[in-house]
Amino acid sequence: MSPSLVTNNGDVATVKTAPVAGRLAAVYSEVQTSRIDHALPLPSVLRNPFKIVDGPPSSAAGNPDEIAKLFPNLFGQPSAMLVPNGADSIGSDQKLKIGVVLSGGQAPGGHNVISGIFDYLQDCAKGSILYGFRGGPAGIMKCKYVELTADYIYPYRNQGGFDMICSGRDKIETPEQFKQAEETAVKLDLDGLLVIGGDDSNTNACLLAENFRTKNLKTQVIGCPKTIDGDLKCKEVPTSFGFDTACRIYAEMIGNVMIDARSTGKYYHFVRLMGRAASHITLECALQTHPNITIIGEEVAAKKQTLKNVTDYIVDVVCKRAELGYNYGVILIPEGLIDFIPEVQQLIAELNEILAHDIVDENGLWKKKLTDQSLKLFEFLPQAIQEQLMLERDPHGNVQVAKIETEKMLIQMVETELDTRKQAGSYKGQFKGQSHFFGYEGRCGLPTNFDASYCYALGYGAGALLHSGKTGLISSVGNLGTPVEEWTVGGTALTSLMDVERRHGKFKPVIKKAMVELEGAPFKKFSSMREEWALKNCYISPGPIQFVGPVSNAVNHTLLLELGAQA
């Protein structure tokens, strides 16, 4: 039976097999339809019989003794590398039962990881079953799942979003929750579990792997590096998936806004970009588009800058540009900027305490509990930002930085400082700020060819790792600066990415977020060019993502520069 997807224009695109649920009723655009049948290249090592070769024992990113105590079964595991194996492939007769789960925020390519592991099982372990846990880790705990078939998966190939099985932000943390996960593993007779997520989710994956080993369950756990923020990476995991697509979507919009700025000649566009903890997205977008000003949170933190410092830096550039006759520009700001500013961190910490324990009275008596410095900063902030800082906390008790309109705050602060300079006679230009926030638009776009291929290889490789009995590894695909067929495939010990943090008197394992390195190649490239970008107009407009043609297989600057620096 060969049912059909109806395209937007009423044309009928034949679908190979019948979708039985999920996007069954979906009407696809022509581009979506064209993407379903986009052929996914595999690294050559996955296209031929391969075996797995272990490397030397691993350690940890920090505090190896504590990590060894926390992961007695898994600590020290070697990395695994797939290599060609003449005629025979690994464990070809074994049928597997595997579960897969999406954890945390969306990133373009998640569906392709699932397609990848599914195809591995079809190709190399016929008769295997793939379960998709619904709604994130909660799906594991509640044993809420769907059996993923070729029909079910087909319409999601190369498509954005996580809606095939949806995601969630729950964690498996307490003994009861681990118990629930064990019950599900036993009930479904799971040989393996693939956890697709960010740093927290991969830490959790490793804890699960350790726990299953401790309980003598056969269920192996493999992680997969997902986050548009790009802050889950190390030497063997050169990038997290979704980063490439999200940056290209944001860069398209930034490039358009730049042409608008240059054409109109009268606006400063302040663009806030998603990326809470690290400023990789902002840096990559800067490298793609050459804005006049780019604020990198890690640099602000390293230089212990204040909000006033950041404002003054912007105002200085605005004034110099005005002298050159340019009363317009484009400024990129990372979403998490205020988290990087020590004085703001201090203020937020005090506000968290007050909000948790005190009554915030309308007369503002509560402000007396602030330290002088924090009170001064609070009063210095525009009113809208004051209100946003007082909004409800997220489930972890943190300020929801995505809700703080840093770009508008900076516009107001820049306006105020420019007024002062105007009165002092040192600025004679015109200033009009326009604010933008590019966030949700980038998380669920159609994956670029890079992310589509990378995710497919990550998923396919994860299947091979599980099939060969590996656990506690993160799927690792390398050599990404070369054509897909030359990519390397393997797994890296999750414990080797870990350090510990002390929370509530206990050591907790964490995969440290990979921050923008001020000595790294991407930042150095940026910092070598930013003065030129500030005063000249070197704007680049990357245009919309192309899926066919010579420009469709480019690799992002951050990755290329980091690979180049490694080489």
Task: Provide the edge-to-edge strand list for the sheet that holds 433-438.
Answer: 293-294, 329-334, 268-273, 433-438
Closer to its own copies at the Cβ: 302 or 551? 551
Check the annotation: does 274 bind a ligand. yes
Locate all alpha helices (DSSP H) within 233-341, ordered by sequence. 243-264, 280-289, 297-302, 307-323, 337-340
276 assigned binding-site residue:
yes
Report the distance separating Cα 515 and Cα 260, nearest Å.
32
Decide whether 137 or 463 has the Cβ nearer to its own copies: 137
123 is catalytic: no
Tally the residues of the chain.
567
* Of 27 and 365, CB closest to its own copies: 27
Q: What are phi and psi of 173, to 5 degrees?
A: -125, -45
Task: Supply the minimum distance, in Å, between the C-beta of residue 151 and its own copies.
Answer: 20
374-to-338, 369, 370 alpha-carbon distances in Å: 14, 10, 6
Other residues' Cβ atoms within 10 Å of the Cβ of residue 531: 10
**Minimal distance, residue 161 CB to its own copies, in Å:** 4
Contact between 59 and 496 under an 8 Å Cβ cutoff? The reply is yes
Which residues share a beta bridge with 329? 268
Minimum CB distance to its own copies smaller for 126 or for 403: 403
Residue 386 CA neighbour count, 13 Å, CB half: 14
Footprint of its own copies (CB under 8 A): 8-9, 25-32, 34-35, 106, 159-163, 166-167, 249, 252-253, 255-260, 262-265, 267, 269, 288, 290, 384, 434, 436, 440-446, 536, 538-551, 554
CB of 116 to its own copies, least distance (A): 19
Nearer to its own copies, 288 or 495 (CB): 288
| Nearest partner of 378 among 346, 332, 421, judged by Cα | 346
415 annotated among ligand-binding-site residues: no
- The DSSP code for 241 is B
Min. distance of Cβ 269 from its own copies in angstroms?
A: 7
Is 267 within any annotated ligand binding site? yes
Least distance (Å) between residue 273 CB and its own copies: 13
Question: Please, which residue, 157 or 443, has the CB nearer to its own copies?
Answer: 443
Q: Are 147 and 129 in contact (CB under 8 A)?
A: yes
Which has the closest alpha carbon to 14: 23, 4, 24?
4
Flag whether 105 is marked binding. Answer: yes
Q: Which of 119, 151, 191, 229 is catalytic?
A: 229
The answer to the question of whether 231 is labelled as a binding residue is: no
Q: Is 242 annotated as a binding residue?
A: no
In angstroms, the CA 171 to CA 163 distance is 19
Report, in Å, the least distance between residue 167 CB and its own copies: 7
Q: How far apart are CA 452 and CA 41, in angstroms?
A: 9
Q: Which residue in 148, 100, 94, 98 sits closest to 124, CA to CA?
A: 94
- Report the binding-site residues: 105, 199, 227-229, 266-267, 274-276, 335, 440-443
- Report the binding-site residues for Mg(2+): 199
Catalytic annotation, residues: 229
- Report the binding-site residues for diphosphate: 105
- Report the binding-site residues for substrate: 227-229, 266-267, 274-276, 335, 440-443
